[in-house]
Structure 1
Amino acid sequence: MSLKSQLRIAIVTLVTLLVIAQSLLSLRLAAEDKIRDSMERAQVVADQIKDLVIQRVNEQARAVQPPPASMEARKRLWHHLVASDPELPGLLFKAAANATTVIEAMVADDANVILASTLPAREKQTFPPLPDLSEWQKRPLWERLVEVLIQPQRHDYAITFPLGVQSEPRPILNIRVVISTVLIRNAIIGHVQQMAWVSLLTLMASIVLAYLFSNYLLRSLDRLSARIESIATGQFTPSKAASAKEAKEFADMQSKLDVLSQQFRGAQEDTMQLRSNIERMIEALEEGTLLFDPDQKLVRASKAAEQLLGIRHAQVAGRTLNEVFPPSTPLGAILRDAVQKDQGVRDAAVTVERGEAGPLRLLVNVESLESFPEPGRDSLLVTVRNAETRHQIRSQLDISTRLAAISRLTGGVAHEIKNPLNAMALHLEILKSKLDGDERVGKEVEVIGGEIARLDRVVKTFLDFTRPVEVKLRDLNLVELARQVAALVWPEAERSHVSIEFDAPSPRVVVRADPDLLKQALLNVVNNGIEAMKSGGRLVVAVNREEDEAVVTVTDQGGGVPESVRDKIFNLYFTTKQKGSGIGLAMTFRIIQLHNATIDFASRVGDGTTFRMRFPLVDASSEPATPAHAGGASAVESPR
């Protein structure tokens, strides 16, 4: 929290506490005053009732002749006079009405039997014992306030005056005035509520004024804070001139911040330029680079490193070396050994497991970089490169060269074969017409015709392969094309007891491609996968984004490709199937090359094969919106 905010909160809090304390004190004094006033009124009423009862008893007792001779006779006389006086209850009620807190006034005998009361229904009943009001008044004020204002149940207290003669210790009559906390609450609640509202309004007004006053006092700090924030965000515009009313200390600080911002701007521009040059240079390298700080936390991972190692910079940035490359892995063991021995590593060969992407053989280099601010605590630079890259380039060039040579050779041969085939087919039709109805040679003629037709199709395939292909490129949603291919082969897959699964996390992956040629290339790979699973299984067609590339993978559960023939799999006429032509994968390889794309595969004997076709994305930074059902993983169903 900023100093400005702390000061503002401190000022508002202090004023709030002072106003709350003052308001509570005022409420306490007001409540105490109202309770005292109510008690004084009740005491006055009790004195009036005492005087009234004494006067009534004395007047009526003097009229009795002869006067009572004993104390017991006098007691009975007084009891009789009080109980039989018809005007006494009304006089008691009139006197009690002067105090709003009095709930009942009564006269009882020495046995607490009520003789006269403001409540006639209670006469001749025994008066229950009640706490004395004087004891309640001795309790702390806060206890009395809680009892009166908060507790819902009613509490009654009594003011008692005993009447008797001086020669007798026991009273003849007891005058009691009953006070109720409910009536005390009704008497003071209005005033207390009024004071509470006044206190609340005062508190709110004080908070607002304190906030405004703190803003007025701290407006210079606001300007300095805004200036510092603008420098931190790279906004280096000159600040406005200081106001004449502003303190000199703040004006001096503002001036020094302007000088500092100019220096910071120059340093930031130099740093950004240097960083940009370094990043461009790193990204241009084919090698993957990873930089760890002196605490062995990952600072930077190039895109090449992400692709080679199957990691994401956003997911591993800030993690330690052991978290990114656990020591239990071959690469982690090499890096840990280099750190412990403080020795560099040069072209160490290691195989990295990359999950679904499959294993990859890499060459690893490790070296220490001196940390200038903290000598002795070196950073760590790790570079990796694909050990198979040169071999793959050489292999693909060899395949392309052989395909070109075979194309030139077969082009001429196919033309020479097609002409005799056409003549043979023509004369066979003439022969069939002459032998029409002769069942002895009909079947043999049909066999000859079928074989000529098959040979003609082979020749046409040769010619199609050698003929220059016109590629009609356009923007193509690779997800939709792959989905169409999966649906197209579904009937054949069902007959072979093969389930087709389609997976496309992104609903739209756009590449520049010829739809017909690309569909043919993908069909060749998918059909090969189905044919490889002679006992049935599962074939997965997936479309994914990997950085700036679209990747189509076709994974089967067949027997795999033997190690001895893997270098020949894309050769023209090479096939491991009894009835295969050896043209399908060669044609696929040619089509992929025409799209400036690549195709490779990974296979394990007995576990199946995965073909990967990589295409440049039209726009790797955006993904056009499409209906939600277009993407995701699903099983391919019958198109019917």
Structure 2
Amino acid sequence: MRLKTKLVLAATGLTFAIVLVLSALFVSELLRQRIEQTAAANDVLVHEVWLETRKAVEAGLRANPPVDKSDAALHEAVVNALRSQTALSDVMNTIVRYSPTVQDVSVTDAHGLTLVSTDPDAVDDKAVFRFSLASVQNGPISRQMRVVFGRPRVLDISQSLERNGVPFLVVHVGVRSTFLKNTYEPWLLDALIFASLAALAAMLSAGLLANVALRPLEAISARLEILTRAAGAIPERLGESRGTRTDEVVRVTRTLDRLGEQMRTQEAGYTALQANLNQMLDTLRDGVLLFTADRRAVMVSDAVAYFLGAPLNEDHEKLVGMRLEEIFAPDSVLGEAVLEAFAEGSQVSAQAITLEDGRQVQFSLDRIDDGLSGAGNVTTLLTLRDMESVAQLGQEIEVARRLAAIGRLTAGVGHEVKNPINAMVLHLELLRGKLVPGGVEAFGGAQRHVDILAGEMQRLDRVVQTLADFSRPMELHLREHDLRQVVGIVMELTAAEMQENQVHVVVNAPREPLTVRVDAQLMQQALLNLLLNGMQAMPDGGAMVVRLRRDHHFAVVEVIDEGVGIPPELLPRIFELYFTTKPKGSGIGLAMTYRILQLHGGAMEVRSSADPSSVERGTTFTFRLPLAAGAATESRKAAAAGAVQKELGERV
């Protein structure tokens, strides 16, 4: 069987299944409506009998009241009243005679004893149990079908007559299921015939439409073959397969498979190249923009917003696809220089300009010719570089170099000093054991000097151990954490000590999470060092602010104190191991914090004012960590890919 025939049959079968389901729903909805109509009509009859029963009881009790106030006398009077009133029996018999679905009508007392009924054999007998028609009406369609078209049964519709809030008499109308079946069968048969005709018509229409819709496949197959041959996917000549009578659907499928394989190969290379490029752009401090020949941006790095003076929370992805004139304002210094360089059409190498806020910026223009379509398709690479960032990066590299040198030095010194210290401590303990405590004064003086030597050796041992710990390689356990939660844990750890030193800490954090991939324990240690350093800088107490924010694809934490500040001449040395200005400081905390940030690919900077008369007196430590790869990177990829595809489409 040809695939085209299979598709036609599949479409026809699917249409038949859909029509069949819709027909079943249609028939079931009709059955539900008919049951509701029957229930509503019989409910009117029940209320009519209930009203006549009430009138009969009232008239009978007025004519023949009970002989006494007992329940038995009242029950006997009510029974006589119901049986003596011909109007009640006439109504009940009329309902049974003319209603097509009612089998019997009866009135029972509260205990189920039949007092009057259209069935003489049921009088003075216990009423049999019957299912309520309301339960069938409110039940699922499967139960309605079983009740109506299953074994015969009588359904009950009841209405109670109350006395002092308690049911006194109950009116029952019995509806027989066979009567319902005989009433519903004619219109149900008509509905089934209509549904069958609709299903048949739908099947024929689906088959015809599917056959007509698949006719253009032969033309599509021929065009696809031309396309694949032009791309080199099919080596044979164009006319070799035109004489064959193969299935058009099979030919299209095979051709699409060839094209898909070719596209997947090209897409894999493009995806790998784009992933590498995105990774570089995420961590690059220079602003990089790639413009097409019509000056439309197809690639924008995160750092571009910094040069444009955009807000920190503004996404750079929206710059992709914009024209050069929309990105750079002509009335700004940077915009004027860039637009002029583009207008001249020449190469620009590290041209320096000064922005309105005093920042020194260099920009370069590099023309890239694809070598295929002539000079009209030359793309332009614009690079923006902040000279202050370059100087800061050089300073960070110098600090890192110093820490690395200190690490190598401490590793060697620790190993060489540790063994002599251990031997000295051993022999000192032997000497102490030979001195008699409380003996000759000379020995007493010697004991004091021995104790001093022992204490100094222990202190030297601690120093050597600290050197060894600092130079030991750290094993990172990287997981994705919300930086807000990491800061919250550190705040809980330091809350009691901060309160004891009269330091009030305020945390400013954004509402959205700042997800970073870090070792939580090491990052808590780094934050703890900064908080304790700020607390110790405020001996008389004060306020400290911990501010968290997002700077494009980086999470930034600022620890701001109102302490004594750091003199400018000491700022370049604060991250050196064992350098400290505190009498009891170890000089290890800031060096360890800097090392932890380096291991996480982060950076740290500090600014401080030690002028007592300045309102900005204090120190601000700022460190930034790269955010975990997420939706922002994916959106930038999609935007860049969309812009490239748009450009390619315009060229084609």
The two structures have a TM-score, normalised by structure 1, of 0.44
Larger radius of gyration: 1
The two structures have a TM-score, normalised by structure 2, of 0.43
